[in-house]
Structure formats: structure tokens, C-alpha cells
Amino acid sequence: MIARMFSPLLLCLFLFYIPKAAMGFQDKPGEIFWKLHFVSSPEKVYSALSKSEERKKYWADSAEEKNGVISYVFNNLNFTDVGKVIEAVPNKKYSVVYLSTEVTFTIKSDGKGGADMALLVKKVPADRKVELIAGWVNWLMTMKAAVDHGIDLRGAVKFLV
């Protein structure tokens, strides 16, 4: 009896509510948007984005910046990318061209010593959007581990024997 009562309810949820909720997920064409909280200060988060030595800890094997041009080197993928800094407002905003997209990081204090960071990626090709949505989640978690905890999630796993 109870199963019969819930079946129509679940069917209604599936047919009417869930598809509408899912349509609101990353639905702006050509854009990806994420937010992330750090226990670290806005200054530390900004430094992680804007300094070559800090970017090496989570972004790329090398991400040297010279005259506003950043050379990203990924040794494990045998891949390089060249981007540029679009805008740099210390401890508040950092915008770059990365993988032919425009990426803007906006940083705000949470009022408790930590920082909230918004990531907006523009010019995302429609045929790569799903892949890049997942890629940016991975990137954000790797950044958070490095900035807040000093952990590099990109390294090889070492097993104790």
C-alpha cells in the first residue's frame, strides 16, 4: 500500500521537479561558474593565483609569468599552454586567458579570516563544456587542498608496504 502511494509521488518528482532543477545547472551558454570557500585569507588565495611559485603547487608543473604572459607546462600530459593576465586587482580579482577561455577569479573576505572565491569561465566551447565543468571542479579541489592544507593532490599515490 505504501509503495503504491509513493510511486506516483516519485514519478511526479522525476517528471516535473528534477528535470527543471537539473536545467538550472551550469545552463548559461559558453560559461562555467563555481564558488569555493577557503579557511585561508583573501591575501593567501590571491597569492596562490597570481604568483608563479604558488601556481606550481596545484595548477601546473610550471606556470611562469613574464610581462603578463603565463606559460603553463604539464609534464605528465606533455602539454603546454600560453595565456595572459587580463586583470589583476590584489586580493580581490585575478583574470587570465587559459586554454583559450577567459577565467576570472573574484575573492572576498568571509569576515572570519577566510575567503570566498567565485570562478567564472567565459568563451567555453559547447562541445567541451561538460568536460570543462568537471575539470574545473577537480582544479578547485586541488587548489583548496594546496592553499588551505598544503597538500598536492596531483602527485602519484605512494603505498606503504
What is the predicted pLDDT for the residue at 111? 97
Q: Which residues contact 56 (CB under 8 A, 6 or more apart)?
A: 62, 63
Q: Which residues contact 39 (CB under 8 A, 6 or more apart)?
A: 113, 114, 148
Look at residue 3 and tell me whether its pLDDT is greater than 60.
Answer: no
CATH superfamily entry for domain 28-149: START domain (3.30.530.20)
Q: Which sequence spans correspond to the domains of the chain?
A: 28-149
What is the predicted pLDDT for the residue at 76? 81
Tens-digit pLDDT profile for residues 84-129: 999 999 999 999 999 999 999 999 999 999 999 999 999 999 999 9
Q: What's the pLDDT band for 2 if we cut at 50, 70, 90?
A: very low
Q: Do 2 and 83 contact (CB within 8 A), yes or no?
A: no
What is the rounded average pLDDT for all residues in the chain?
85
What is the predicted pLDDT for the residue at 12? 43
**Cβ count near 46 (within 10 Å):** 23
- Flag whether the pTM goes above 0.85: no
